[in-house]
Amino acid sequence: MPSQEFNAELLPDLLPVYYKRLFPYSQYYKWLSYGLVPFNYFQKREFSFTLADDIYIRYQSFKDEEDMEKEIKKHCPYKIDIGAVYSSRPKDHRAVAIFTPQEKELVFDIDMTDYDEVRTCCSGAAICRKCWKFMTIAVKILESALRQDFGYQHILWVYSGRRGIHCWVCDEKARVLSQSARSALAEYLQLLRGGDSQAKKVNIPQKIHPSLKRAEEIAKKYFHDLILDDQDLLGTPELWDKILALIPDQTLRDSLGKAMPKCSSSRQRWTTIQTEITKAINKADHKKGLRPHLLTEIILQLVYPRLDIHVTKGLNHLLKSPFCIHPKTGCVCVCFDPQKVEQFNPLAVPNLSQLVEEINSFDAGKTDEERGAIAEYKKTSMKESVLLFESFLAAIAKENSVRRQRSEMYLDF
Ligand SMILES: [Zn+2]
């Protein structure tokens, strides 16, 4: 069921209710204090608030959970962003001589608007279940690269509440990455290169890297369904010309251009493209510009994750916090399970009005005692996301306790 339409004028009334009754303060604090090792890690974290009328306050920081809860309730921010852990407490930044970002989760930002050239169902900030499949592929490819190529385990995936997804890699070894290591990692994962003026954005060397092979396997599982059926990207001359433009060999491009109108569907056109490219490669004189992995390059250009790598590279880059509210849609920025990303429906993410209704209908006819016996979020459709967040926290608690033991050992010496 799609979320109800949201009236943004209700925000000033609904945000205080959300921050009073639903925001998961204790889990959130538990996450960002990372077992309190070192003890002041949380205090040195930057938060920024966006208030009504786009008033933006940076360099907020909090002493502890209670202080954070008090400040959030006081300001009722329209948006909360999380920044780096600094050398000193961000709220003291003007008073200290040296103030530098030191650690942060490794983050990724993927925005549906960057897929406009490969989607026909929606454009701009719009999103539907068809184009969510691009996000499904992005999650699967990134997850496998982060876990298998880099060995990360504590990865939190969040839907931004409107048109994008965020990925927070929270392992200690990710949080301590330097600016240059983040840049290198982001470049490694960025496959599409060149701006709007460049048609062909994926170029794979002769010897294909195993991680690209893996990405291709994932991409192929969804390619027909998404690209050929849902998006119908070979459906009209205008559309197939864009795909044929990715073929460097002009003779082949021209002959495929003539073959396309004779086919009756995107699937049939893709079969023709595959057959002709494979034939040409098999008898190719590579100097003529035919590339051995041309088909893989085309597939990956159409579905490989389009990353906003500036967000990943910057150690002091802020990113919208999980569990804040998207001010345009009123939707909660919820966590989702990457294993179940295919079933996740962004259109069913609850908005503020819905959450308040859910609490009211749960409470109806119950005594005060009965109402108070259960956490408010459990009365709403936020429940699943909070439980998922809790299981993420339980897993990272083990890493936190290893770190605590290590730091206690140092203290003993
Ligand atoms: Zn769509």
pLDDT tens, residue order, the chain (413 aa) = 344 578 889 999 999 999 999 999 999 999 999 999 889 999 999 999 999 989 999 999 999 999 999 999 999 999 999 999 999 999 999 999 999 999 999 999 999 999 999 999 999 989 999 999 999 999 999 999 999 999 999 999 999 999 999 999 999 999 999 999 999 999 999 999 987 788 999 999 889 999 999 999 999 999 999 999 999 999 999 999 999 999 999 999 999 999 999 999 999 999 999 999 999 988 866 555 678 899 999 999 999 999 999 999 999 999 999 999 999 999 999 999 999 999 999 999 999 999 999 999 999 999 999 999 999 999 999 999 999 999 999 999 999 998 888 888 776 65
Ligand 1 centre to CA of 313 (Å) is 29
Rounded distance from Cα 277 to ligand 1 centre (Å): 30
Beta strand extents in 146-251 (DSSP E only): 155-159, 164-169
- Beta pairing, strands 45-50 & 79-86: antiparallel
Q: Quick check: 119 and 131 in contact, CB under 8 A?
A: yes
Q: Which domains occur in the chain, in start order? A: 8-186+307-412 (3.90.920.10), 198-303 (no CATH)
Residue 280 Cα to ligand 1 middle (Å)? 35
CB neighbour burial string for 33-49, b if at least 16 within 10 angstroms, e if fewer = bbbbbeeebbbbbbbbb
Burial classification of residue 262, based on how many CB atoms lie within 10 Å of its CB (0-12 exposed, 13-18 middle, 19 or more buried): exposed
Q: Residue 305 and residue 191: Cα distance in Å, rounded?
A: 8
- Ligand 1: centre distance to CA 133 (Å): 9
Q: Which stretches of 202-313 are DSSP H helices?
A: 210-223, 237-244, 250-259, 266-282, 294-303, 309-313
User: Hey, what are 99's tokens?
Assistant: 């103030």
CA of 405 to the centre of ligand 1 (A): 49
Nearest Cα to Cα of residue 54 among 72, 78, 73: 78
**What residues are annotated to the active site?**
46, 109, 111
Q: What is the pTM of this model?
A: 0.95
